[in-house]
Amino acid sequence: MWTVVYVARNEIQAEMLRGILDQEGILVMLRGLGVPHLGSSGSVEILVPSSEAEEASEILYGNLCL
């Protein structure tokens, strides 16, 4: 089961955060929100396996607060 740990503003931010989680060895899936015609400017959910959600949230919080 996958859990949403963050909603990125756009695809660029989502890809950056995916890279951070990938470096920590956490599996990541991205899922776009909203209407498809917005392309990369729409919000994107960052999902991780439920068993890694707490760790992923801590990693993201640490990087977003810098």
CATH number, position 28 = 3.30.70.1530
Q: Under a CB-based contact definition with an 8 Å cutoff, are residues 23 and 55 in contact?
A: no
The number of distinct structural domains making up the chain is 1
Instruction: Please indicate, yes or no, whether the overall pTM of this predicted structure exceeds 0.75.
Output: yes
**For 32, phi and psi rounded to 5 degrees?**
-70, 145
For residue range 20-66, what is the model confidence (pLDDT) as tens digits?
A: 999 999 999 999 987 665 566 789 999 999 999 999 999 998 887 75
In 35-49, which positions are buried (b, 16+ CB within 10 angstroms) versus exposed (e)? eeeeeeebbbbbbbe
The residue assigned the tokens 């949230």 is: 57
Which phi and psi (to 5°) does residue 46 adopt?
-105, 120
Q: Token digits for 21?
A: 């989680």
Q: 38: domain range?
A: 2-64
